[in-house]
Structure 1
Amino acid sequence: MATEKIVNPLISVIIPVYNGEKHLKQAIESVLNQGHDFIEIIVINDGSFDKSYEIINSFKGKIRAYSQVNSGVASSRNLGISKAKGLFITFLDQDDYYPLGRFNNFLKTYRKSKELIFIGHTQYIFEDEKAKLRWPNLPKDNITFVKLLGASIFHKTVFTDYGLFIPELQSGDDIEWFYRLNQSGEEINKSEDVVLFYRQHSSNVSADKKQVDKYLLSSLKYILDAKKNIPNNKN
């Protein structure tokens, strides 16, 4: 893949929102507080019926906002990608937030690197002890490397070459997408910096283990079905 070399490439941050009134303001502000002119924020309101719209509207002039009938997070991400003007694209869930300096080291690395995918470390933020029990294997500082969309930055051509998210997957669309990326063999620039605060609370999808297992199985089934449909080129 060819890439453009410019000093400060525009970065599009896509934030899908569905009834995110509790943490949405902090999420958006964590991007605005980065203090860079080369970041655009794209918020997709996915049919929210709480106060999300009012919160989004309060940032008028600072973000680009779009609304759609509730269609799921994958559809929201895809819409955001279609609207993005940036050379690079990243994501932020409505209840997560970025640390200050999120993009500084990325820019330094980008100027020296040919990689088109950058993934940093994630720090889990727990709102209660019950949420913490769901992640018993985390280090004491709650910092780990995990392939999360919010901890990643992708050159826009990655989505052209490897496709968008699958709207039929209600959750786990990111698992399926990262599987496709892994299969591609595309090089990933791994950063030791913490680039995402990943909030865990009782309203997380991951709080419902049965639901998580259901979504995971749906994602794995989609992957297996896709593999079955790949023509066998062996003679």
Structure 2
Amino acid sequence: MPFFSVVVPTYNRSEMARDAVQSVLNQDFSDFELIVVDDGSSDNTADIMTSLSNKLHYHRQINGGVASARNAGISLSSGQYICYLDSDDLWPKNKLSTYKLLIDSRQSPAFIFSDFHKHDISLSQPYKVSNTDMFPYILDLANPLGGDHFEISGDHLLELLFRGYPLYPSTFAVRRDVHDHYRWDPGILKSEDFNLVLKISSRYSFTYLHQSLATVRVHGSNKSADFLTKNKINLASMKLYRDLYSPKTKRSLCNHYISQKYFSDGRSYLSQGLKSEGIKSLLHSFKYPENWKRLSQKLISRVQG
């Protein structure tokens, strides 16, 4: 039984998938299995994947979306931890060995994620600022465990996720028994990762590794312009968490952050000239009395300013 199962879902990006898979094969920690789930590609993905290594398990399925592909990878896996790498992303060679050291020193945490850098492939180098450089409040909410290791739990974890700190699947390591409780929702075609981490956070604390251990590549096919749909799905996931997974004592806190989300989305829409969407979102934010005082103060300050 391998220690790690690495699941790489892919669809019609054979050359980028080759790079991603090669970054797994180059790891300096060898106790892993590699599962590539081809979600019905029509390009030459099959030829490239099957030619790379006999360590690679290639599985092809009818197109069902990335959540479906990841679930297929879980079902085919046998490792103690399941790690994910999107087929347009890359890992440094010490990714798995660094995670293994953390797991051994922290009594097998349930869910691990790390910092990462983005790289617009039209540019020669990745961005200099990392994800946590852009969202530094994670370090205020996290409990230091020593070195680069942090734990986030309870209200702090809820705040981290509801305030919008972005977690990317290419940094996830999920203990197998956690996935026995929670799988990816194949009915969600955008922000399926946000939905998953919200559900897991209702039962487990998260362990954060303050090192950049993934490169998330930005390119034409993953620059989503449909931000309206994504925002609506994120709000639906927040409400689902509140109604199905959050204890009653936390529902008021959930409403506080949902109201904030509506307000910030509304301001963003107005700044982009989307007047109708902006007004509707701002009005929705006032449906939650948990945030009335804060929102009223914001509006008064803007009028006076």
TM range (shorter): 0.7 to 0.9
In 2, the alpha carbon distance for the partners of 1:103 and 1:231 equals 32
Give the counterpart of 1:177 among 169, 189, 196. Answer: 196
Aligned to 1:135: none
Partner secondary structure for residue 78 of structure 1: helix
Which 10-residue stretch deviates more, 169-178 or 53-62? 53-62
* Conserved? CA contact 1:47–1:69, under 8 Å: yes
In 1, the alpha carbon distance for the partners of 2:6 and 2:171 equals 11
Q: Does 1:31 align with 2:46?
A: no
Q: Kindly tell me: are residues 226 and 50 of structure 1, through their superposed partners in 2, closer, same or farther at Cα, counting changes over 3 Å?
A: same
Q: Kindly tell me: are residues 183 and 62 of structure 1, through their superposed partners in 2, closer, same or farther at Cα, counting changes over 3 Å?
A: same
Which of structures 1 and 2 has the larger relative contact order (alpha carbons within 8 angstroms, sep 6+)? 1
In 1, the alpha carbon distance for the partners of 2:240 and 2:114 equals 31
Aligned to 1:155: 175
Which 10-residue stretch deviates more, 187-196 or 68-77? 187-196
Aligned to 2:116: 122
Aligned to 1:203: 221
Letter in 2 for 1:164: R
Partner secondary structure for residue 70 of structure 2: helix
In 2, the alpha carbon distance for the partners of 1:215 and 1:12 equals 29
CA root-mean-square deviation: 2.4
Q: Kindly tell me: are residues 231 and 29 of structure 1, through their superposed partners in 2, closer, same or farther at Cα, counting changes over 3 Å?
A: closer
Larger Rg: 2
Letter in 1 for 2:115: H
Query: Which structure 2 residues correspond to residues 37-52 of structure 1 after superposition, within 5 A?
Result: 37-52=30-45
Letter in 1 for 2:217: R
Q: Kindly tell me: are residues 43 and 231 of structure 1, through their superposed partners in 2, closer, same or farther at Cα, counting changes over 3 Å?
A: closer
What TM-score, normalized to structure 2?
0.64
In 1, the alpha carbon distance for the partners of 2:57 and 2:212 equals 26
Aligned to 1:217: 232
Give unmatched runs, 5+ long, in structure 2.
Answer: 133-165, 250-305
Q: Kindly tell me: are residues 166 and 219 of structure 1, through their superposed partners in 2, closer, same or farther at Cα, counting changes over 3 Å?
A: farther
In 1, the alpha carbon distance for the partners of 2:81 and 2:246 equals 33
* Conserved? CA contact 1:99–1:196, under 8 Å: yes
Instruction: Looking at secondary structure, tell me which structure has more helix per residue.
Output: 2
In 2, the alpha carbon distance for the partners of 1:181 and 1:229 equals 12
What TM-score, normalized to structure 1?
0.82
* Conserved? CA contact 1:117–1:189, under 8 Å: yes
In 1, the alpha carbon distance for the partners of 2:206 and 2:240 equals 26
Give unmatched runs, 5+ long, in structure 1.
Answer: 1-7, 133-139
Q: Does 1:74 align with 2:67?
A: yes
Q: Kindly tell me: are residues 231 and 64 of structure 1, through their superposed partners in 2, closer, same or farther at Cα, counting changes over 3 Å?
A: closer
